[in-house]
Chain A
Amino acid sequence: MSRIGVFVCHCGENIARTVDVAAVAEAIKDHPGVAFATDYKYMCSDPGQTMVKEAIEEHKLTGVVIAACSPHMHERTFRRACDQAGLNKYMCEMANIREHCSWIHEDRADATAKAIDIARTIVEKVKHNKPLESIRIPVTKRALVIGGGIAGIQAALDIADGGHQVVLIEKEASIGGHMSQLSETFPTLDCSQCILTPRMVEAYQHPNITLHTWSEVEKVDGYIGNFEVTIRKKARSVNEDLCNGCGDCQAACPAKRIPSEFEAGLGMRTAIYVPFPQAVPNIPVLDRQNCTLYKGRRKGLAKDACGKCKEACLKGAIDYDTEDTFIKEDIGAIVVATGFQLYSIGREQPEGLKGYGEYGYGEVPDVIDGLQFERLASASGPTAGAILRPSDGKEPTTVVFVHCVGSRDPEKGMKYCSKICCMYNAKHAMLYKHKVHEGRAVAFYMDIRAAGKGYDEFSRRAIEEDQAEYIRGRVSRIYRDGGKVKVWGYDTLSQEQVVIDADMVVLATAIRPQPGVEQLAQTLSISYDENGFINEAHPKLRPVETNTAGVFVAGACQAPRDIPDSVAMASAAGAKVMSLFSADELEREPAVAVVNENTCIGCMNCANVCAYGAIEQREICTVDGQVCGHVAYVNPGVCQGCGTCQAVCLSKSVELQTFTDEQVYSEINALCFWE
C-alpha cells in the first residue's frame, strides 16, 4: 500500500504568486495513496530538505513527490535527501509546477487547477515506482581533448598534470590555434607567441599527453567512462618518427605561391610546409591539393611530375604513398575545444548568413579583417611587422576600423555580440599608431564592450594616449576609389555624415564556430544552437558540461570568448574530468531496459532499433542443455535508456525502468477528465 508524501513548494513568490500552493496541498492530501501533504516556502533549502527527511521517518513514507521546479533543476537534490533518510532515491519524483505552470500562466484558478493535475499525475506515477539500485561501471582514466588551441592545450595540461593520460587531437598541422596568429594580446600587449609557445612545447613534451596533429575525430561509440574513439590521422606524407624538422624539403619545393592559411591569405607558403616556424610539432605536412606531384597523379600522368622534397630529405622521411590511418582509443571523458573562425563578408555564404555587398564582398584588396591585421602587425608576419597595404605595399596614413561587421545584425543572420572585437579594435588602433606615429586611426563603433579586468582602461588608452578617433555610428558603404578606400559613415553624436578617404580598412568580423562542428556534435550526441555554438548543459550553473554525460566543452566553440576566459573555462573542464576520474567506478542511473525472459518471443525487434547495440540474443536451454530458443538481453552497461525498444516490443516484454508502461499509463489515467 502506497504511503506517498507530497511537498508543495512556494519557491518564494515564483510559484506562490500564481498557484495557490496551500490549496494544492489540501487537494492532494486526500488523494488515495497520499499519506502526508504540506506546503513550504523553499523546499530545496536546508530546512525544506530536513522537512522531507523527517516526514519520511514520521509518516513511514514509501514515496515522495516534490511539487516545485523542473526535475532538471533539483531532482538530484531531493533524491539525495530521500537517500539520506533511508528511502530509495528512485521513489522520489518531482512535479513541475513552476516552469510548466506558475511561470507560464496568469490566471490563478487555471494555474492552481493545473498544478493539482500535475501533482496528482506524478503521485499516480510514483505508486508504480520501484526501488532501484545504481549500476556501477568502470571508468577509463584517459581523456580526449578535441582541438589544440589555447583552450585545448590548457585542458590537456591540467588533466595531464593531474596524473591522467590525455589524447590531444588537432586538425591542423600544428597546435596553437588562432592565438598563434596574433601579434600582441590585450590588455597587456604581451607578445602572443611568446606566452603561447612554451605551453605548446609543454603539451608536446608532457609524458601524459599523446599529441596527434593533422588528425580528426572519425567515430565515437560508447558512453561516459567508456568511450571508444576512432581517430583519423590524415596522410601527412611525412614520417613523424624520421623527420627532424630541418626544413630542407620546404626550401626545395617548387610550388611557392600557395596562399598561406596561417598568414590569413596575405603571405605564401610552399606545398610541403609547416604553418609557421614555431610550429609544434615541427614536422611538415604535404598539401596534396596543391602539390605538383599529386596534381600530376590526379591527371593520370605515367611518371611523377616532381619529387624534389623527397630528394632533398636526408632522413628519407617523405613517402608519397601514405594513406589516412585510423587509431582506436579507449577514452573516459571528452573535452570539445574546437575554437572559432571569422565570418567572411564574401558572396558565398553558408545557409542563413548573408555577405556584405555594401563593403565590397571581400573584393577590395585593402579591406581586411582582424586576423589579417594581426599578421601585418606581427614581427614574424608577411611584412615583418610593418603595417603595409596589401594592394601596393605602401604604408597607410589613414586606417578605418569598423566594429560589428556581421555581429549584432539579424539581417546578416548573426544576432549575437562577438565580445572580443571592441577590445581588439582598440588594440589594433594602438598597434597601428605605435608603428605609424603620424597616421590617423578612426574607429566606427556601436557600443564599447570592455567589461574585463583592466579592459576599459585599455580601451581608453587608445583614445587618450594614442589619439584614436572613435565615431559612434555605422558604415553604410566601403568601396575602392582610385588608390583610396572610400568609407561612408555616420556620426550619431554630432548627427553628421562622415566620408573618409582611407588607405586601409580593418573589419571586425563576427566570431563563428569552426566549419564541420555540427557533424562533430552529432558524432558526440551533443547539441548546438542556431549559430552552431555548442550548447552547455545549463547556462548559469553548468557552463562546461554538455547534455551528454562525459562530454565537456571549453573555449570559443561554446560562445565568442577571449583568451583569459577560454583558459579559465578549459581549466574548469579539466577539473570536471579530474573529478570524473577520481573514482574507479562510475555510478550510472538505473534507467535501463530490462527484458522479461518469460514472455519474450525472441523476435529481436528491440535489437534492430537500439541505436547503441545494447541488445543481444541470449539462448534458452532445456534442463539437459539443449538450445530450444532465444530471447533478448539488454546490456545494462551500454543501454542509454531511450525506451525505443519497448515501443516496438510485440510481446510487451521489455520494460524501461523509471518509465515503465505501468508508470506512463498511470500518468495518463490520472489526467482523467470525465466529470
Chain B
Amino acid sequence: MTDEHTLAGAGAGEARTPARYAYYPGCSLHGTSREFDESLRAVAAALGVSLTEIPDWSCCGASSGHTTDHMLGVALPARNLAIAEEQGFDQVLAPCAACYNRLSAARLAVDTEAGFAERVPEIIGRPFANSVEVHNAVELLRDAAPAIEEKVAAALVPNPLDGVKLAAYYGCLLVRPFEVCGYDDPERPTSMDEVIAACGAEPVDWNMKVECCGGSFSVSRTASVVRLGRSIIEDARANGAEAIVVACPLCHSNLDLRQKAMVQRGSRPMPVLFVTQLVGLALGLTPVELGMPRHFVNTEPFLADLVQRAAERVAAEQKVKEEAAAKAAARREKAGV
C-alpha cells in the first residue's frame, strides 16, 4: 500500500532539495494516535518533505518482541529497514518513539554484535546492508527549524504561539539509551525545545523532561501511570507551562486520555499537543487538519485563548504604531513644516 505525498507548494523561492523519507508509521500512527500521523503528513507537506510509506511494513517488536528474544527483537525491525533499503531509500522516518528506538537499536545490534550481520538477513529472508538511517519526528523538525522560523515569520496570520510557554516532554525512548539514539543529551535534552522556540513559543525549563509516564502500564497498572503523570503535569504547571508538547503516542495517551484521573477536580486542564501539531499551528494549518479534535483534553478553549491573545497583541502593537505616528505628526506640525 503506497501512499505518496508529493512536494506540495514548497514555498516561493525554496531552492533546497526536499528531504525524502521512507515512512514507518507502526501500529499507533494509523490507530490510537491517528492525529500524530495526520499532523505529521500535513507539516511534512508544508515543509516540502516527501514521505513514502514502506510497503508491507510489519511490527517492530516494541511491546513484547524485544523482551521475548534478543534476535527476534532485532530481526523484526530489521525487516522493515531491509524493505526500505530495497526501495532505494537511505532514510527512514519513524515518528513513534518506541518504533524509533527499536529500529535504531536493531541498527546498532547488526553493526556491533558478532554474527548478527550474517544471521539477520537469513532470518528475514532478504539482503540487509544496514545502510538506512533512522530518524524520528523531533529530529526532522529540529533540522528543519530554520525553515520553520522563516515560514512563521513570513506568515500573514499572526502566530498564535508567540511567547506561549510550553513544556517539552521527551519521555524515555526518544533520547535513551544514548548509544542507540545519539542525537541529543539523554539527561537534559534540548531538541524539542529548539523546535518549540522555532515556532515562536517559549520552551520552559522544567524537571520532568525525561521522567517516565508509565508507558504500557496504562492498562495493567493504571494507578502508577496516574501517579507518574500527575507529577509530570504538576511540575510543568509549577514551571509556568500552559501546555505539554510530546512526540510519542504512548506519552500522549497517558497524559491526555488519563489526565482526568491525574489532576485535581476543578484545576485547569493541561492540553497535550504533538510536536507536529504545534508546528502545524505555527505554520497556519487548522486544528482540524491537525487532528486536534481527537484529543481527550479539549484543546478548543486553549486554542481560542491563544488566538484571542494573538489578536490582542496585534491590536496593542497597532495602537503603539498609531500613537507613535500621531506623535511624529504633532512634532512635524510644531516644527512648522
Q: Nearest A residue to B238 by beta-carbon distance? A: A482
B143 contacts partner chain A, Cβ-Cβ < 8 Å? no
Give CA–CA (A481, B231) in the complex, Å.
Answer: 12
Q: Nearest B residue to A479 by beta-carbon distance? A: B207
Q: Which of A356, A361, A481 is B207 in contact with, Cβ under 8 Å?
A: A481
B312 contacts partner chain A, Cβ-Cβ < 8 Å? no
The secondary-structure label for the interface of chain A is mixed
Shortest Cβ gap from A432 to chain B (Å): 26
Q: Nearest A residue to B187 by beta-carbon distance? A: A357
B186 contacts partner chain A, Cβ-Cβ < 8 Å? yes
Q: Which of B187, B235, B238 is A358 in contact with, Cβ under 8 Å?
A: B187
Q: Residues 162-192 of chain B: 1 if any A CB is under 8 Å from the residue's CB, otherwise 0?
A: 0000000000000000000000011110000
A480 contacts partner chain B, Cβ-Cβ < 8 Å? yes
Give CA–CA (A481, B185) in the complex, Å.
Answer: 21
Give CA–CA (A486, B238) in the complex, Å.
Answer: 14
Residues in A whose Cβ lies below 8 Å from that of B235: 481
Q: Nearest B residue to A355 by beta-carbon distance? A: B187
Q: Which of A361, A480, A482, A486 is B188 in contact with, Cβ under 8 Å?
A: A361
Residues in B whose Cβ lies below 8 Å from that of A482: 238
* Known contacts A480-B207, A481-B207; A357 and B238 CB within 8 A of each other: no
Give CA–CA (A347, B188) in the complex, Å.
Answer: 10
Residues in B whose Cβ lies below 8 Å from that of A361: 187-188
Residues in B whose Cβ lies below 8 Å from that of A347: 185, 188
Q: Nearest A residue to B210 by beta-carbon distance? A: A357
Residues in B whose Cβ lies below 8 Å from that of A481: 207, 235, 238
Shortest Cβ gap from A355 to chain B (Å): 8
Give CA–CA (A252, B185) in the complex, Å.
Answer: 46
Give CA–CA (A356, B238) in the complex, Å.
Answer: 24
Shortest Cβ gap from B128 to chain A (Å): 31
Judge whether A357 and B185 touch: CB under 8 Å: yes
Q: Nearest B residue to A488 by beta-carbon distance? A: B211
Most buried by B among A357, A360, A361: A357
Give CA–CA (A347, B184) in the complex, Å.
Answer: 12
Give CA–CA (A358, B187) in the complex, Å.
Answer: 6
Q: Nearest A residue to B206 by beta-carbon distance? A: A479
Judge whether A357 and B207 touch: CB under 8 Å: no
Residues in B whose Cβ lies below 8 Å from that of A479: 207
Give CA–CA (A363, B277) in the complex, Å.
Answer: 31
Q: Residues 234-271 of chain B: 1 if any A CB is under 8 Å from the residue's CB, otherwise 0?
A: 01001000000000000000000000000000000000
Give CA–CA (A167, B207) in the complex, Å.
Answer: 52
Residues in B whose Cβ lies below 8 Å from that of A357: 185-188
Give CA–CA (A605, B185) in the complex, Å.
Answer: 53
Give CA–CA (A360, B185) in the complex, Å.
Answer: 12
Residues in A whose Cβ lies below 8 Å from that of B185: 347, 357
Residues in A whose Cβ lies below 8 Å from that of B186: 357
Shortest Cβ gap from B89 to chain A (Å): 34
Q: Residues 476-499 of chain A: 1 if any B CB is under 8 Å from the residue's CB, otherwise 0?
A: 000111100010000000000000
Give CA–CA (A347, B238) in the complex, Å.
Answer: 25
Residues in B whose Cβ lies below 8 Å from that of A480: 207
Residues in A whose Cβ lies below 8 Å from that of B238: 481-482
Give CA–CA (A479, B188) in the complex, Å.
Answer: 11
Give CA–CA (A623, B186) in the complex, Å.
Answer: 81
Shortest Cβ gap from A269 to chain B (Å): 30
Residues in B whose Cβ lies below 8 Å from that of A360: 188
Shortest Cβ gap from B40 to chain A (Å): 29
Shortest Cβ gap from A488 to chain B (Å): 10
Q: Nearest A residue to B186 by beta-carbon distance? A: A357
Give CA–CA (A479, B186) in the complex, Å.
Answer: 15
Q: Residues 202-219 of chain B: 1 if any A CB is under 8 Å from the residue's CB, otherwise 0?
A: 000001000000000000
Give CA–CA (A358, B210) in the complex, Å.
Answer: 10
Q: Residues 162-194 of chain A: 1 if any B CB is under 8 Å from the residue's CB, otherwise 0?
A: 000000000000000000000000000000000
Shortest Cβ gap from B194 to chain A (Å): 16
Residues in A whose Cβ lies below 8 Å from that of B188: 347, 357, 360-361
Residues in A whose Cβ lies below 8 Å from that of B207: 479-481, 486
Give CA–CA (A356, B185) in the complex, Å.
Answer: 11
Shortest Cβ gap from B219 to chain A (Å): 24
* B-contacting residues, A220-243, CB 8 Å: none
Shortest Cβ gap from B259 to chain A (Å): 22
Give CA–CA (A360, B186) in the complex, Å.
Answer: 12
Give CA–CA (A357, B238) in the complex, Å.
Answer: 21
Give CA–CA (A58, B235) in the complex, Å.
Answer: 90
* B-contacting residues, A356-387, CB 8 Å: 356-358, 360-361
Q: Nearest B residue to A482 by beta-carbon distance? A: B238
Shortest Cβ gap from A80 to chain B (Å): 52
Residues in A whose Cβ lies below 8 Å from that of B187: 356-358, 361
Most buried by A among B187, B207, B238: B187
Shortest Cβ gap from B161 to chain A (Å): 26
* B-contacting residues, A446-494, CB 8 Å: 479-482, 486
Give CA–CA (A357, B190) in the complex, Å.
Answer: 12
Give CA–CA (A361, B187) in the complex, Å.
Answer: 9
Shortest Cβ gap from A531 to chain B (Å): 22
* B-contacting residues, A636-658, CB 8 Å: none
Shortest Cβ gap from B178 to chain A (Å): 9
Give CA–CA (A486, B235) in the complex, Å.
Answer: 12
Give CA–CA (A479, B231) in the complex, Å.
Answer: 14
Shortest Cβ gap from A484 to chain B (Å): 12
Q: Nearest A residue to B178 by beta-carbon distance? A: A354
Shortest Cβ gap from B207 to chain A (Å): 4
Given contacts A356-B187, A357-B187, A482-B238, 9 further A-B contacts (CB under 8 A): A347-B185, A357-B186, A357-B188, A361-B188, A479-B207, A480-B207, A481-B207, A481-B238, A486-B207
List, sorted by A's number, 18 A–B pairs whose CB atoms are closer than 8 Å: A347-B185, A347-B188, A356-B187, A357-B185, A357-B186, A357-B187, A357-B188, A358-B187, A360-B188, A361-B187, A361-B188, A479-B207, A480-B207, A481-B207, A481-B235, A481-B238, A482-B238, A486-B207
- A residues sitting closer than 8 Å to B (CB atoms) are 347, 356-358, 360-361, 479-482, 486
3 tightest Cβ-Cβ pairs between the two chains A and B? A357-B187, A479-B207, A357-B188
- B residues sitting closer than 8 Å to A (CB atoms) are 185-188, 207, 235, 238
